[in-house]
Amino acid sequence: MIRFIILQNRQGKTRLAKYYIPLEESEKHKVEYEVHRLVVNRDPKFTNFVEFRNHKVIYRRYAGLFFSLCVDITDNELAYLESIHLFVEILDHFFSNVCELDLVFNFHKVYLILDEFILAGELQETSKKAIIERMGELEKQE
Amino acid sequence: MNPFSSGTRLRDMIRAIRACKTAAEERAVVRKECASIRAAISEDDPDYRHRNLAKLMFIHMLGYPTHFGQMECLKLIASPGFPEKRIGYLGLMLLLDERQEVLMLVTNSIKQDLNQTNQYIVGLALCALGNICSAEMARDLAPEVERLLQFRDPNVRKKAALCTIRIIKKVPDLAENFINPAAALLKEKHHGVLLTGVQLCTEICKVSTEALEYLRKKCITGLVKVLRDLTNSPYAPEYDISGITDPFLHIRLLKLFHVLGHGDADASDTMSDILAQVATKTETNKNAGNAILYECVATILSIEDNGGLRVLAVNILGRFLSSRDNNIRYVALNMLMKAIALDSQAVQRHRATILECVKDPDASIRKRALELVYLLVNESNVKPLTKELVDYLEVSEAEFKGDLTAKICSIVEKFSPEKIWYIDQMVKVLTQAGNYVKDEVWHALIIVITNAPNLHGYTVRALYKAVQTAGGQETLVRVAVWCIGEYGEMLVGNSGMLDVEERINVTEADAVDVIETAIRCHSSDLTTRAMCLIALLKLSSRYPSCTKRINDIILQQKGSLVLELQQRAIEFNSIIERHEKIRSALVERMPVLDEATYSGRRAGSVPAAVSTSQGALPKIPNGVVKPASAALVDLLDLSSDADQAPSSSGGDYLQDLLGVDLAPASQGTNQTDKRGADVLLDLLSIGAPPAQSSSSMLDMLSSGQDNKSAVGMLDNLASPSAPSAQASSPGASSSMMDLLDGFGPSPSVPETNGPTYPSIVAFESNSLKITYKFSKEPGNPQTTIIEAQFVNKSPDIYSNFVFQAAVPKFLQLHMDPASGNILPESGNGSITQKLRVSNSQHGKKSLVMRMRISYKANDKDVLEEGQVNNFPRGL
């Protein structure tokens, strides 16, 4: 199960944080700080997996943004690495060559996309096309 | 109207915040915005609620508190329009979580939304429910969700499936209701619904055995077919990732097989073919393929044995291990730990590669590899493996050293084939990374050393050499100091040389140098210095020529600010200077520490406080540091419950140390008792005539109310010479006698075994006479009741008359209040006081008592003291 997803830039500013487990606000900030410290200094040649408390963090860096996923110890790391990539591709498609600024100004849309991709800590849909189409339908409802 | 299409206010706010140069500026902007939002909330303004919540969410993401917006979410959710609901649910998921009571208020709105026909709204509600619902909400809304599992729109079905996962996690009892609908989902064609259905089934099986049975019986063949179709499916652009159709679905199906096949041979059989197919046919050049393979291997290793499949799995892992991709190597190391349990031989083949991974620059890989190596060690490969690890210890990074050291010590301890190898390895580890070695480890090392008498010389010489080069490693210094202290004569005498050794020339001065350096070093802590002091004491006996120098070093610590060091320094100095005769007996070779007891003790859960004090023991030859007072009392248990067998389990390790084991080792101690007593005397400065010293002692032995603790304090001071004193009872009683100012052994009064005893004059001086009358309680021969009578022989009246008494430890004294505290002159009256003495050595030792009488006569304070030795025997 995915416990949380965090998008952070190199300076540690959180651009997106979605938690699938209950945490106090202060704990959330602590977690974000620790995760940032963990991933920002790692050599790119190293593995994309780090142990974090009793769980694992799977992360990847895309340009200036770190996408970090915290999962249970027993989960398949390689699979979640693929899911991070799928998410980035969806964002890229939706925002047409996404950059960090897009994510800042349209944060609510990013959350909506995320909610179509992952629910209750598990993958919901694996087709990029299906998600983009759904976002389109939802936009029409507005 | 889409409020985001113009989006000026939200966008403007974001721009304004981003334009802030300092944190203070940003706080100001945020504060302003929050104020206007709060105003709008209190006005209950419906128009901009939507926008305000969006702004609030952004502010929340920046890290500012936004609780005041929670009710806004609820209001938005309750609105009829889709855009409002959407932002409302979004806000709900961001600003609230399941632990907050406000969430309950939303239950009704969610219920209504779940019952709507508009699938988008239903979707919104399911999403919110699935992400943050609490157990109560789950219970309330489960029926709705169950119904929605069969909704016409696949989007709703897949969301309902995931929502159900959360529901059964929160309320496992509800799982039974969902078994059938979940199984139905497995027949779906839509990948999304199928994926979520598979995930739901996996979760249900974990929670409910009934579900597990059902799925095993009914659905396995269907699932196998699905996987087969998937694996063989042609190119499907929508789900293609790196040439594989929907790898996520592959992986999820494999996970479900994992759960279904584990522990069930039939199920495992049914799936073995497809597993073999997946394992062999999947492309491995891309991450997606490797992810599938990895999951496949995990499944194979957890289902029931199928020899061919397992071999396949381990081979795949072996291939992964030699991959250049770090991620792949990492997962391989992870999975190999599981494989070891099943087929350790196969994994042993990859030992060399795994050892290489321990040295990898990536910390994650190093950690996994080290864990794996630890599992791989067995008797046959322990030597080469340890050699590799110890070599690596030299160059490893500081943060890794701790882990590595702990593992090496553990391996060495468990698997060492012979003691000399163990000692060698430990010396190496201590040299490289002594500071990371835990206390129990080096304590265990010392125990092993004491148990290997033929290696004493070798060990002390090896340690001496090691300390020359690695004096900075404190633990190494401690062990070396202890050994030099114990086996000092072997060090300089080159005795017990083994074939592999070379002669080294160590003079006594060199050995003392080592200890002197350690004690002088600024970074040495209390334990090290304390150990040095003891070692010096031992050496003063073993190296007679160095005694003066050693004494000087000890004297330097006399003024130490740390009580422990000061005390030791003073005591040892005293022993060296004044008690030559007993010194050698005091510092004889330590008794062999019992390995089995110690390791049993370590294995069990020993409370921390106790273990640290016991852990400290091996380095203390004769004395007691500051363990629990219970240990102290037992130590000097001169009233010795002589049959008290030292108990190895639970009870004081101290007793083990200084109880049974002491007997064979200390042949000569009996004679030393008298001298031991002299030591006690000196230590307590009792031999000194001035009244204040003896009165100070008597102060401690108060008016007899609480004798046990008083004598316990006595024990405190007497500690260093403990073991000699404990050995034999008669010696002990004589020492106790000496303690009470050396009056000599109890006089032999003719044995009176009858119940009546003659009264005695306990004390007589020019001014005072004290008589004791005895009686015994019937049926209680150990207890004597003494009636003391005080008579004033002088012409002055005594006032503030106080009588105090003290007894040795084997006696217990209770005093009743005196009849008065004014003693009339010249025998015109008397004061009586009842004392009760219990003799635990009744029949073996007779009573002894020391008295102190104070009173005021002619406005002058008078103090008299005496000892009663003429108690009738047999009391």
Tell me, what CATH number does A15's domain have? 3.30.450.60
Mean pLDDT of B222-241: 87
pLDDT at B536 > cutoff 70:
yes
Residue of B nearest to A73 (CA): B334
User: Which of B2, B11, B291 comes nearest A82 by C-beta?
Assistant: B291
Q: Do A78 and B327 touch (CB under 8 A)?
A: yes
Residue of B nearest to A58 (CA): B327
Of B126, B137, B134, the C-alpha closest to B161 is: B126
Q: Do B2 and A79 touch (CB under 8 A)?
A: no
Which pLDDT score is estimated for B104? 83
What's the distance, CA B277 to chain centroid? 49
DSSP secondary structure, B473-496, as one string: -HHHHHHHHHHHHHHHHHHHHTTT
Which pLDDT score is estimated for B37? 86
**Helix/strand/coil percent split, chain B, to 5:** 65, 10, 25
Please state, in angstroms and rounded to a whole number, the distance separating the CA atoms of residues B378 and B372: 12
Measured between beta carbons, which residues in chain A are less than 8 angstroms from residue B57?
Answer: 107-108
Provide the terminal-to-terminal Cα distance of chain A, rounded to the nearest Å. 32
What's the gap in Å between the CA of A35 and the closest CA on chain B? 15
Which pLDDT score is estimated for B257? 92
Cβ atoms < 10 Å from Cβ of B671: 14
Q: Do A138 and B246 touch (CB under 8 A)?
A: no
Residues B133 and A120: beta-carbon distance below 8 Å:
no
- Inter-chain Cβ pairs, chain A and chain B, closer than 8 A: 152
Q: Do A125 and B192 touch (CB under 8 A)?
A: yes
User: Which of B99, B163, B238 comes nearest A120 by C-beta?
Assistant: B163
Mean pLDDT of B162-187: 90
Tokens encoding B642: 């002589």
Q: Which one of A18, A21, A82, A100 makes the best mutation probe of the B interface by having the most chain B beta carbons within 10 Å?
A: A82
Amino acid at A100: E
Which pLDDT score is estimated for B577? 83
Q: Do B290 and A78 touch (CB under 8 A)?
A: yes
- 3-state DSSP call for residue B752? coil
Which pLDDT score is estimated for B598? 65
- pLDDT top residue among B32 and B47: B32
Cβ atoms < 10 Å from Cβ of B345: 8
Cβ atoms < 10 Å from Cβ of B244: 24
Q: Do B192 and A48 touch (CB under 8 A)?
A: no
pLDDT at B644 > cutoff 80:
no
Percent of chain B with pLDDT over 90: 10
What's the distance, CA B637 to chain centroid? 31
Total domains in chain A come to 1
Please state, in angstroms and rounded to a whole number, the distance separating the CA atoms of residues B353 and B321: 7
Cβ atoms < 10 Å from Cβ of B737: 20
- Band (pLDDT 50/70/90 cuts) for residue B684 is very low
What is chain B's length?
875
Helix residue ranges, H only, A12-127? 25-40, 77-95, 100-105, 107-117
Q: Do A141 and B120 touch (CB under 8 A)?
A: yes
Task: Give all strands of the β-sheet with B860-868 in edge-to-edge order.
Answer: B798-806, B849-857, B860-868
Mean pLDDT of B486-501: 78
Using H for helix, E for strand and C for coil, what is the string for B305-359? CCHHHHHHHHHHHHHHHCCCCHHHHHHHHHHHHHHHHHCHHHHHCCHHHHHHHHC
This complex has an ipTM of 0.94
- Residues β-bridged to residue B854: B802, B863
Residue of A nearest to B360 (CA): A46
Which pLDDT score is estimated for B616? 38
Q: Which helix (H) or strand (E) holds B568?
A: helix B563-578
Mean pLDDT of B747-752: 41
Measured between beta carbons, which residues in chain B are less than 8 angstroms from residue A18?
Answer: 93
- Band (pLDDT 50/70/90 cuts) for residue B325 is confident
What is the model's pTM? Answer: 0.66
User: Which of A20, A82, A129 comes nearest B131 by C-beta?
Assistant: A20
Please state, in angstroms and rounded to a whole number, the distance separating the CA atoms of residues A51 and A66: 16
pLDDT at B544 > cutoff 90:
no
Mean pLDDT, consecutive 10-residue stretches, chain A (142 aa), reads 93 91 89 92 88 91 93 91 94 90 90 93 91 91 80
Measured between beta carbons, which residues in chain A are less than 8 angstroms from residue B247?
Answer: 79, 82
**Exposed/middle/buried for residue B341 (C-beta within 10 Å: 0-12, 13-18, 19+):** exposed
Helix residue ranges, H only, A4-52? 25-40
Q: Which helix (H) or strand (E) holds B164?
A: helix B154-170
Strands B760-764 and B830-839, by their bridges, are: unpaired
Region class of B20: left (phi > 0), else alpha (psi between -120 and 50), else beta: beta
Which pLDDT score is estimated for B234? 85
Tokens encoding B208: 């409910």
Of B406, B442, B443, the C-alpha closest to B427 is: B442
B330-367 pLDDT, tens per residue?
999 988 888 888 878 878 888 888 888 888 888 888 88
Please state, in angstroms and rounded to a whole number, the distance separating the CA atoms of residues A34 and A53: 10
Angle, CA B509 vertex, CA B507 and CA B510 arms, to 5°: 65
**Lowest-pLDDT range of B77-81, B170-174, B708-712:** B708-712
Say which residue the tokens 């002594």 belong to.
Answer: B434
Domain that holds residue A92: 2-141
Phi, psi for residue B477 in degrees, rounded to 5: -60, -40
Residues B870 and B848: beta-carbon distance below 8 Å:
no
Q: Do B362 and A51 touch (CB under 8 A)?
A: no
Of B378, B451, B373, the C-alpha closest to B415 is: B378
Residue of B nearest to A122 (CA): B162
What's the gap in Å between the CA of A86 and the closest CA on chain B? 9
Measured between beta carbons, which residues in chain A are less than 8 angstroms from residue B82?
Answer: 141-142
Q: Do B14 and A105 touch (CB under 8 A)?
A: yes
A29-56 pLDDT, tens per residue?
999 999 999 899 888 888 899 988 889 9
Residue of A nearest to B62 (CA): A14
Which pLDDT score is estimated for B508? 82
> Residue-wise over B528-566: b if at least 16 C-beta within 10 A, else e?
bbbbbbbbbbbbbbbbeebbebbbebbeebeebeeeebe
Q: Do A126 and B239 touch (CB under 8 A)?
A: yes
pLDDT at B97 > cutoff 90:
no
Residue of B nearest to A59 (CA): B327
pLDDT at B745 > cutoff 90:
no
Q: Do A47 and B327 touch (CB under 8 A)?
A: yes
Measured between beta carbons, which residues in chain B are less than 8 angstroms from residue A76?
Answer: 251, 255, 291, 294-295, 298
- 3-state DSSP call for residue B857? strand
User: Which of A18, A29, A120 comes nearest B162 by C-beta?
Assistant: A120
Cβ atoms < 10 Å from Cβ of A27: 11
- pLDDT top residue among B242 and A32: A32
Mean pLDDT of B777-789: 81
Please state, in angstroms and rounded to a whole number, the distance separating the CA atoms of residues B494 and B491: 5
Quick one: DSSP state of residue B627? -
Q: Do A79 and B98 touch (CB under 8 A)?
A: no
pLDDT at B681 > cutoff 80:
no
Residue of B nearest to A78 (CA): B291
Q: Which one of B159, B202, B299 makes the best mutation probe of the A interface by having the most chain A beta carbons within 10 Å?
A: B159
Measured between beta carbons, which residues in chain B are less than 8 angstroms from residue A128?
Answer: 238
pLDDT at B670 > cutoff 50:
no
Measured between beta carbons, which residues in chain A are less than 8 angstroms from residue B102?
Answer: none
**Lowest-pLDDT range of A111-120, B183-192, B438-447, B737-746:** B737-746
Q: Do B291 and A86 touch (CB under 8 A)?
A: no
Q: Do A78 and B239 touch (CB under 8 A)?
A: no
Rounded alpha-carbon distances, angstroms, from residue B233 to A137, B116, B181, B196, B229: 29, 37, 27, 20, 6
- Residues β-bridged to residue A17: A6
Say which residue the tokens 């190293």 belong to.
Answer: A46
- Band (pLDDT 50/70/90 cuts) for residue B612 is very low
Mean pLDDT of chain B: 77
Amino acid at B762: A
DSSP secondary structure, B179-206, as one string: HHHHHHHTT--SHHHHHHHHHHHHHHHH
Mean pLDDT of B48-61: 87
Residue of B nearest to A110 (CA): B90
pLDDT at B446 > cutoff 60:
yes
Residue of B nearest to A134 (CA): B155
Please state, in angstroms and rounded to a whole number, the distance separating the CA atoms of residues A61 and B523: 44
- 3-state DSSP call for residue B753? coil
pLDDT at B652 > cutoff 50:
no
B165-176 pLDDT, tens per residue?
999 999 999 888
Q: Do A108 and B11 touch (CB under 8 A)?
A: no
Phi, psi for residue B342 in degrees, rounded to 5: -95, -40
Residue of B nearest to A60 (CA): B327
Which pLDDT score is estimated for B602? 57
Residue A107 half-sphere exposure toward CB, CA atoms < 13 A: 26
Strands B849-857 and A55-62, by their bridges, are: unpaired
pLDDT at B208 > cutoff 70:
yes
Percent of chain B with pLDDT over 70: 81
- The CA dihedral of B22, B24, B25, B26, to the nearest 10 degrees, is 90
